[in-house]
Amino acid sequence: MSSENKNLASSSVNEDSVLNLKDLKVRVIDSLAELKAEIWDQCLGLSGSPFLRHSFLRGLEVTACVGGQSGWYPKYVLVEHEDQLVGASPAYIKTHSQGEFIFDWSWADAAHQMGLPYYPKLVVSSPFSPVGSEKLLCDPRLSIAHRNNIRKTLLKGLRQVCTEERLSGLHLLFVSDEELELLGEQGLLKRHTLQFQWENENYQNFEDFLARFRSKKRNQIKRERRRVNESGVEVKAYCGAEIKEEHISLIYKFYQNTVEKYYFGNLYLNQDFFRYLYEHQREDLCILLAEQNNQVIGGSFNLASDGVLYGRYWGIDQDIEIDHLHFEVCSYRGIELCIEKGWRRFEAGAGGGSHKYGRGFLPKVIYSAHEVYLPGFNHALSELLNRERQSLAKELLEIQGEVLKLKND
């Protein structure tokens, strides 16, 4: 089939026929090599997540970050109408739970204690990327009714993969609000977790942002930034075409240092992947580098798209110890950059707590949806998730109370 037949750029899909579920066909492929980038990316729309672009997902394949011995095995589910791609979902058969950031280790332990196999399972996500976005992708120019029919067909295809591959369950991670509602209606269990994100409230500069805090907290942040500055460090931003190949080598070294120091050397990504993004998706990259005495001593690797900065990895030279450098590179300079460029949000990644909300990153509920096919498991999981949601609601209220204490009246 020709790319001309598949291309939706001219909106050639007849919406009345798309609405008819029986006209939608499911196809599963094991590699995005089978699909041109522009065909996959048309399901993202102009504001689609950079972590779901063809270049990002294909890069993981080409550089063996997925496939091989990684425990991530691609099963991309496609929905087509009259040989045109109208929907897609990035799914992976998983033999472990690493690199997901929606933690289900306790579920796997419970299954093991019951004598039931929890792996392999099917996960729908962008590997190693705790970023909320649609995961049941469909052309955003279609109506909500049409998109929901395509999403239902994608879900049918995902369940079909689970059946054919004899998988223990289906897990859609970091889904959108709209998807969560549909998935709940289709019988999946909803899970709520917290992430911390910074929102740009039309700040004119960093001082304007600091004005939101009470004086004690405001002075603390100023003091932390001053300490970094007094050590002779300047953090510079390089985005898109400003990034040079040598920056990629540096940032990978810093990423590697951090993983070896804190995560027992469990590198999910290799240097070839960083280089692949540099070659194929440089327009979405944004690197912050800390320089001291004309030497780069640390930095962070970020992506930026549609007014959102996504913080992903950071690190420093192994012999460097500078107070508050982490906060400068991973928080303050990123916030400052968003203000300078008029970007609306800064998602600093998984994890958090007082060190994040105390620096302007506010709690946001993020969603995932699950169904486990092991005997008796789903009912117990439903009760667990109900308790988990209640506990998280209390935690959210407590954090919001702490945030209010930090705000300037």
| Pair 120, 220 in one domain | no
CATH number for 239: 3.40.630.30
| pTM for the full predicted model | 0.93
Report whether pLDDT(341) > 50.
yes
Residue linked to tokens 């930095």: 299
Section 297-307 average pLDDT: 97
| Pair 48, 136 in one domain | yes
| Pair 112, 83 in one domain | yes
| Pair 90, 34 in one domain | yes
166 within some domain: yes
357 within some domain: no
pLDDT at residue 17, rounded to an integer: 52
Cα dihedral 13→17→18→23 (10° resolution): -120
pLDDT at residue 4, rounded to an integer: 35
CA angle, residues 399, 183, 118, in degrees to nearest 5? 85
Report whether pLDDT(50) > 90.
yes
Report whether pLDDT(268) > 90.
yes
| Pair 149, 187 in one domain | yes
Section 10-15 average pLDDT: 49
* Preceding amide of 120 cis, omega within 30: yes
> SS3 of 69, please?
coil
Distances (CA, A) of 4 to 36, 39, 55, 85, 381: 11, 10, 20, 11, 46
409 within some domain: no
**Better-scored residue on pLDDT, 317 or 350:** 317
- Which two tokens mark 107? 């579920």
Other Cβ atoms within 10 Å of 177 Cβ, number: 11
User: In which domain, by residue range, is 185 found?
Assistant: 3-194+365-398
Name every residue whose Cβ is closer than 8 Å to that of residue 333 and which is 6 or more positions away in sequence: 235, 237, 288
| Pair 235, 311 in one domain | yes
353 within some domain: no
Report whether pLDDT(302) > 80.
yes
pLDDT band, very low/low/confident/very high, at 9 (cuts 50, 70, 90): very low
| Pair 36, 7 in one domain | yes
| Pair 274, 244 in one domain | yes
pLDDT band, very low/low/confident/very high, at 3 (cuts 50, 70, 90): very low
- Averaged pLDDT score across all residues of the chain: 93
14 within some domain: yes
Report whether pLDDT(377) > 60.
yes
pLDDT at residue 53, rounded to an integer: 98
215 within some domain: yes
| Pair 92, 14 in one domain | yes
pLDDT band, very low/low/confident/very high, at 354 (cuts 50, 70, 90): confident
| Pair 260, 180 in one domain | no
155 within some domain: yes
Q: What is the DSSP string of 321-335?
A: --TTHHHIIIIIHHH
55-64, pLDDT tens digit by residue? 999 999 999 9
Q: How far apart are CA 106 and CA 120, in angstroms?
A: 15
376 within some domain: yes
pLDDT band, very low/low/confident/very high, at 7 (cuts 50, 70, 90): very low
Name every residue whose Cβ is closer than 8 Å to that of residue 257 and which is 6 or more positions away in sequence: 315, 316, 317, 318
Q: Which of 360, 355, 67 is nearest to 347 (CA)?
A: 360
| Pair 250, 310 in one domain | yes
Positive or negative torsion for Cα 181, 182, 185, 190: negative
| Pair 25, 172 in one domain | yes
Section 117-139 average pLDDT: 96
Q: How many domains does the chain have?
A: 2
